[in-house]
Chain A
Amino acid sequence: MLSFILRRLAVAIPTLLVLVVASFYLMQFAPGGPFTSERPLPPQVLANIEAKYGLNEPTWKQLVNYVGGILTEFDFGPSYKYKDRTVNDIIAQGFPVTLKYGSISFVVAILVGGILGIAAAVRQNSWLDYFAVGLTIGAQVLPNFVMAPILILIFTLWLGWLPGGGWNGGQWQYLVMPVIALSTSYMASIARLTRSSMLEVLRSNFIRTARAKGLPNHVIIWRHALKPTLLPVVSYLGPAFVGMVTGSFIIDSIFSTGGIGYFYVNAAFNRDYAVMMGLTILLGSMTILFNMLVDILYAWIDPKIRL
């Protein structure tokens, strides 16, 4: 196990490096730059600004400077758009926000989705099954950007229970709507995956054998069927978690939560190179980490899989 982790970490570093180089060069292809604006800057002013940020250097040199800054000082550079903030500031402020509502949504999605999925599978073709299937599909088909404003209409305008947005240090009132809006579609996917996987497991020989032996139903479900059921679900969780953290653009944008999802998408639109690179590295590391965790989970669930 330890050697596996070490091996993966050893691969992770070159992976990240390739990611940095690829994204850095990819950026240069996009039309426009960070200082392209409605009112084009006079050439002299543009030259001064580019000189300040070192953007007048050849691309490879910018890249070397950038990586050097990270390695020597852990400095991810300035934001070209939000000039009062560095990338470190933006991540330090936005990442905990995203992590908080992302993790809560993740847990909610797994618990609710998993339980719904198992319940539906165990009582296949009962009203519970139909209800669960209907609910999960219903939750999945309502796009985020439709659900979020509807939530605000209901909870803020009509009922007056919750504030219509903002973060305020992440008090629970400010968390409810983002968590609902973010978790539902993942919850639905998890429920569906769990249900279908559980159905498959329940029909397998060893479960039949267990039933034949007269084991009580709950023992069969929880002790024998659950673990193999999780296999396909687990492989969904890695991308799902990263997706929840990165894909929160709509949440940040509609609920004004100030998380990194908004910066991530908008940095691309603003050509805010350093912010984009910083967030890419952050999210790249997270992806690698979570995929590694998923692989470890795999090995734990099915010892036959060689790490």
Chain B
Amino acid sequence: MNISLKSALFATALALASPALAAGTAPNGMPLADDQTFTYRVLDEHSSVDPQIVEDVSGSEIVRDLFEGLFNQDRKGNLVPGVATSYDVSDDKTVYTFHLRDNAKWSDGTPVTAGDFVYAWQRLADPETASPYQWFIEIMGVKNGSAVMAGDMPPSELGVKAIDDHTLEVTLEAPRPYFPLTTTHASTFPSPKWVIDKWGADWTKPEHIVSNGAYVLTEHVPQERSVRERNPMYWDNEHTIIDKVTALVINDENVAFTRFKAGELDRTEIPTGQYPVLKKEMPEATVVFPRLCTYYYTINVSDSAPEFLKDKRVRQALSYAIDRDIIVNNVTQGGQIPAYTFTPAATANFEVPTVDYATWTQQERNTKAMELMAEAGYGKDHPLDLTLIYNTSEGHKKIAIAISQMWKQTLGVNVTLENQEWKTFLQTRGNKDYEVARAGWCGDYNEASTFLDLVDTDSGYNDAGYSNPEVDRLLAEAKTMDNPQPNYTKVEQIIADDMPIIPIYHYTGNYLMNPQLVPSWPVENVEQNWYSKDLYKVAK
């Protein structure tokens, strides 16, 4: 893995060394448009633009533009050099040495040094910072991370140090093959100590902020807009094409759609269910691509669960009776992929295992579901009563309506739908005070364990309360395996049989996009880590 990664980095470095592109020509060879601004819609105000504080997707998008970490991702999600140009790994694979470029500068002209990363990482782990992504330091496996987090050790004991201004050494607790991948995460980006010391919590305001990425924050009106503009100090500024990026907060997707049509936006989400029509009406503006996310229903199988849900046959019947093709083709209608297993096929180095019921026709699944229900003792004269909870959202509602009808019509189950306000929903589900609940999961990183760890007994995200020693063993074993696929296959098959969760579909990202912008959008990056510096608008 390391070797291939290094050669990839090398190849990219070569590509970067090639002569600068002729003015007015896009990297794909097409002529560039005169207007190089990018305006997109976000659903809600971002949480923060402080790299160590940010916790939401729209905030991370801004942080990736404002700050640059050791590595970036390219269009396909591969690592490409950021502030670091390369790294070495010790023989025991626990010490990483990153070599930083010497021409990286902060927007105030200060050089970016290894010390900025040390400061940032210590800041991430420091309990006083109270970062919501503090735990990421544990995921990365940085030495003493857990102890620093718990306040048992001072942040200076964290396994990261600056050998000199351009050499950063990271010591891990144990080998973590995926460690380099984590350096593209916003929480690992450097932060400017002198600015934070001076302004405190106010340092992220546009008038104070200093950043090292391709853009600087120039305006922020909460709940209205945030604007970032080209950073002339950025080391690769000459290859940056988009001059100005504006994120507009628009809560209502249909209003955003209207404003897109009025030409006010370059990008918005396709309103629920409108993809088939829009694909016909404006094919050049619709962009659809797979994402690392799964939509599923979780079944309470914990001790607090009602008896009938502890019966495997009932859970299987509920899963079989869902016609996933109808859900994706007639309800969500955004090119989603029906799911019979938990981990999406788009996950790197993952092969979707074969599970029996995925190969049956829906007719067969329905027949089998009815048999199972009858075996479990439920039928027309003794119907099962079930409550399904979901959080308030038009999309979740439509899916819940359709599925409740499938259960009713096929199995005669009386479903009570209960739509709950978000925090109430989370509390209810987290306390396992439910029967069946809607859930969704997006991978933290591009590897199957980010999904499958969810069914580990000790996982904090295991809302089903599922516990199977065999699964726990397989997952623990997979951590250190060179090729964990056989274990992942087994785990998926066990879940498909035990059915603590009912996979429904794998998400797609779907955008309505200014056709001029479409060629540069990184649709192959399944994590959708996009960088405005890599975008451009081609001439009409």
Contacts and interface: CB of A to CB of B under 8 A. Distances in A.
Given A45-B149, A164-B262, A167-B224, A83 B423 contact: no
Nearest to B127: A48
A262 B56 CA distance: 19
A262 B132 CA distance: 24
A37 B426 CA distance: 7
B194 interface: no
B128 interface: yes
Contact of B423 (A52, A82, A152, A269): A269
Contacts of B262: 156-157, 160, 164
A36 B427 contact: yes
Contacts, number: 141
Interface string B390-411: 0000000000000000000000
B430 A40 contact: yes
B130 A271 contact: no
Given A35-B132, A45-B149, A166 B50 contact: no
A163 interface: yes
Interface in A116-161: 148-149, 152-153, 156-157, 160
Nearest to B209: A84
B255 A269 contact: no
Contacts of B427: 31-32, 36
A90 B149 CA distance: 31
A24 to B, nearest CB: 18
Contacts of A259: 223
Given A160-B262, A269-B422, A81 B47 contact: yes
Interface string A74-87: 00001001111110
A292 B330 CA distance: 57
Contacts of A257: 224
A40 B134 contact: no
Contacts of A165: 248, 250, 255, 259
B222 interface: yes
Contacts of A157: 258, 261-262
A38 interface: yes
B89 interface: no
A39 interface: yes
Contacts of B130: 48-49, 51-53
Interface string B258-274: 11011010000000000
A58 interface: no
Interface string A269-296: 1110000000000000000000000000
A196 interface: no
B176 interface: no
B428 interface: yes
A102 interface: no
Given A30-B423, A44-B149, A84-B49, A163 B461 contact: no
A31 B423 contact: yes
Contacts of A153: 258
A164 to B, nearest CB: 4
A178 interface: no
Contact of A164 (B151, B255, B428): B255
Given A84-B48, A254-B251, A32 B426 contact: yes
B224 A258 contact: yes
A206 B35 CA distance: 71
B424 A32 contact: yes
Contacts of B78: none
B15 interface: no
B135 interface: yes
A103 interface: no
Contact of B221 (A30, A81, A93, A262): A93
Nearest to B44: A266
B454 to A, nearest CB: 10
Given A51-B130, A166-B225, A270 B255 contact: no
Contacts of B135: 41-42, 44-45
A31 B224 contact: no
A258 B223 CA distance: 5
Contact of B132 (A31, A49, A53, A85): A49
A82 B47 contact: yes
A101 interface: no
Q: Looking at chain B, what size class is its interface with the partner chain?
A: 35 or more
Residue of B127, B222, B427 most packed against chain A (CB within 10 A) = B222
B385 interface: no
A258 B221 CA distance: 7
Contacts of A163: 264
A37 B55 CA distance: 11
A45 B130 CA distance: 7
Contacts of B461: 39-40
A263 B201 CA distance: 20
Contacts of B50: 83-84
Give the one of B53, B130, B421, B460 with max A CB within 10 A.
B130
Contacts of A85: 222
Given A78-B201, A167-B224, A44 B132 contact: no
Contact of B223 (A45, A149, A152, A263): A263
B312 interface: no
Given A256-B250, A269-B421, A156 B224 contact: no
Contacts of A81: 47
Nearest to A270: B423
B225 A36 contact: no
Interface in A223-271: 252-254, 256-259, 262-263, 269-271
Nearest to B224: A258
A195 B241 CA distance: 62
Interface string B429-441: 0100000000010
B347 interface: no
A41 B221 contact: no
Contacts of A84: 47-50, 53, 201, 204-205, 220
Given A94-B222, A166-B248, A258-B221, A156 B258 contact: yes
B169 interface: no
Nearest to A160: B262
11 contacts: A36-B426, A38-B426, A82-B45, A82-B46, A83-B201, A84-B48, A84-B220, A148-B255, A165-B255, A165-B259, A256-B251
Interface of B: 45-50, 53, 55, 127-128, 130-132, 134-135, 149-151, 201, 204-205, 220-225, 248-252, 254-255, 258-259, 261-262, 264, 421-424, 426-428, 430, 440, 460-461
Q: Closest 8 CB pairs between A and B?
A: A32-B423, A258-B224, A52-B130, A164-B259, A48-B127, A31-B427, A83-B48, A258-B223
Given A36-B430, A83-B50, A160-B262, 9 more contacts: A31-B424, A32-B427, A44-B149, A85-B222, A166-B248, A254-B251, A254-B255, A259-B223, A269-B422
